[in-house]
Homo-oligomer: A and B are copies of this chain.
Amino acid sequence: MASFSRTAHVSIKDIARAAGVSHSTVSRALQGVPVVKRETAERIQQIALEAGYTASAVARSLVTRKTRTIGVVVTTITDPFHHEIISGVDEVASEWGYSVILADSRADPEREIRVVRSFHERRVDGIIVMSSRVGALYMPMLTEMKVPIVIVNNQRGAEEDFVHSVTIDNVEAARIATRHLVELGHTRIAYLGNLLGVYSDTERFAGYRHALMDANIPFQARLVAHCQNRPEDAMVAMRNLLTLPQVPTAVFCYNDLLALGVLKASGGGVRVPHQISIVGFDDLFFASFLDPSLTTVQQPKKEMGRLAMDLLFRLLRGEEVEKTIHVKGTLIVRDSTAPPPT
């Protein structure tokens, strides 16, 4: 049962023999090169079909020096934010006959190195990076491969020549989200950010502070907390915030995953939004199904994936392209925000 005979795939030569022509004619016929006489071409194609011939991408890659393969790195496969992006990437890639090699770096230096090596060995034509955090050696190694790189949600490394990116304007989006809370009348607004020193976190935090400044609300460091990108950690962080002498009346979260934990920590639907308002970021699939439904900043995630892949293709074609593509975030007001308690 478990014997997989080293299946000698039928090759171009096999069907050349069967058709009584040379293998180069077969190659041309199968590629659809017009010089081949129509009849022979059709005969060859017929034979190839019957023989169940499938061209070997590896042999072809060896000579064309292109693999029609792109590498995609993520920090955690299980981060729901990535999925729609990957989905968009895959859509465009497969439209053009490209395959996606997925790799998980875990933001672990050792694994990052392995991923880069693997991509290099496999001679991927390009790379898309969705790692939210990258080790210091990472980008340099990546760029050393001399293949185009597109980063989704910008971060350090975007300065390098070969690196392009797709991102939303985190500062502005965070500002709008925070302003929404300000306009509702909140003044004690907390920020719950991400631990890893992520670029987008820094930006969203900046947007948060901007909004406070705009409204002449003094910034209070004690209203800021950071935690790992997991709802359980957000719960803990939120509980701490709730022990403050001056409890915040609103929390702006780095993303929906954290908001999920914050919502839980706030307990029982009673207190949100009437005692505490909560705003997330990303608009993940569950945001509208929470109770209360989550006010959040929607990112066009699938579109971002498509744009990233488009950008990569244009780079592969050697076209001149913009260094960074900005997409717009949209504040979606739902039921987790309301005026502060009086």
Binding site for B on A (CB under 8 A): 1-7, 9, 52, 54-59, 61-62, 65, 67, 69, 76-78, 80, 83-84, 86-87, 90-91, 94, 97, 99-104, 111, 114, 117-118, 120-123, 144, 146-148, 161-162, 231, 260-261, 263-264, 268-269, 285-286, 289-291, 314-316, 318-321, 323
Q: Determine whether the beta carbon of A83 is less than 8 Å from that of B77.
A: yes
- Which residue of the partner chain, among B78, B90, B261, contacts A87 with CB atoms under 8 Å? B78
Copies of this protein, total = 2
Q: Determine whether the beta carbon of B1 is less than 8 Å from that of A320.
A: yes
Name the residue in A67, A76, A84, A99 with the highest tally of chain B Cβ atoms < 10 Å from its Cβ.
Answer: A99
Q: Determine whether the beta carbon of B291 is less than 8 Å from that of A121.
A: no
Q: Determine whether the beta carbon of A101 is less than 8 Å from that of B99.
A: yes
- When distances are taken between beta carbons in the complex, the residues of chain B under 8 Å from A58 are 58, 61-62, 67, 122-123
- When distances are taken between beta carbons in the complex, the residues of chain B under 8 Å from A67 are 58
Q: How far is the CA of A2 from the CA of B321 in the complex (A)?
A: 7
Q: Determine whether the beta carbon of B59 is less than 8 Å from that of A315.
A: no
Q: A99-B103, A261-B289, A263-B291 are in contact. List 17 more A-B contacts (CB 8 A).
A: A2-B319, A2-B320, A3-B318, A4-B315, A4-B318, A56-B121, A58-B58, A69-B101, A77-B83, A77-B87, A78-B83, A90-B103, A94-B111, A94-B118, A100-B102, A231-B289, A268-B291
CB-based nearest B residue for A161: B1
Give the Cβ gap from A317 to chain B, nearest Cβ, in Å: 9
- When distances are taken between beta carbons in the complex, the residues of chain B under 8 Å from A69 are 101, 122
- When distances are taken between beta carbons in the complex, the residues of chain B under 8 Å from A162 are 4
- When distances are taken between beta carbons in the complex, the residues of chain B under 8 Å from A61 are 58
Q: How far is the CA of A48 from the CA of B220 in the complex (A)?
A: 55
Q: Determine whether the beta carbon of B269 is less than 8 Å from that of A286.
A: no
CB-based nearest B residue for A60: B121
Q: How far is the CA of A146 from the CA of B84 in the complex (A)?
A: 32
Q: If A78-B83, A123-B57 touch, does A260 touch B289 (CB 8 Å cutoff)?
A: yes
Q: Determine whether the beta carbon of B291 is less than 8 Å from that of A54.
A: no
Q: How far is the CA of A261 from the CA of B286 in the complex (A)?
A: 9
Q: Determine whether the beta carbon of A77 is less than 8 Å from that of B99.
A: no
CB-based nearest B residue for A102: B102
Q: Determine whether the beta carbon of B289 is less than 8 Å from that of A263.
A: yes
- Which residue of the partner chain, among B62, B146, B261, B268, contacts A62 with CB atoms under 8 Å? B62
- When distances are taken between beta carbons in the complex, the residues of chain B under 8 Å from A161 are 1
Q: Determine whether the beta carbon of A264 is less than 8 Å from that of B285.
A: no
- When distances are taken between beta carbons in the complex, the residues of chain B under 8 Å from A100 are 101-103
- When distances are taken between beta carbons in the complex, the residues of chain B under 8 Å from A123 are 9, 56-58
Q: Determine whether the beta carbon of A87 is less than 8 Å from that of B104.
A: yes
CB-based nearest B residue for A97: B118
Q: How far is the CA of A129 from the CA of B62 in the complex (A)?
A: 29
Q: If A100-B102, A289-B261 touch, does A57 touch B268 (CB 8 Å cutoff)?
A: no
- When distances are taken between beta carbons in the complex, the residues of chain B under 8 Å from A231 are 285-286, 289
10 closest residue pairs by CB, A with B: A77-B87, A57-B121, A269-B269, A102-B102, A58-B61, A7-B146, A264-B289, A54-B120, A57-B122, A260-B289
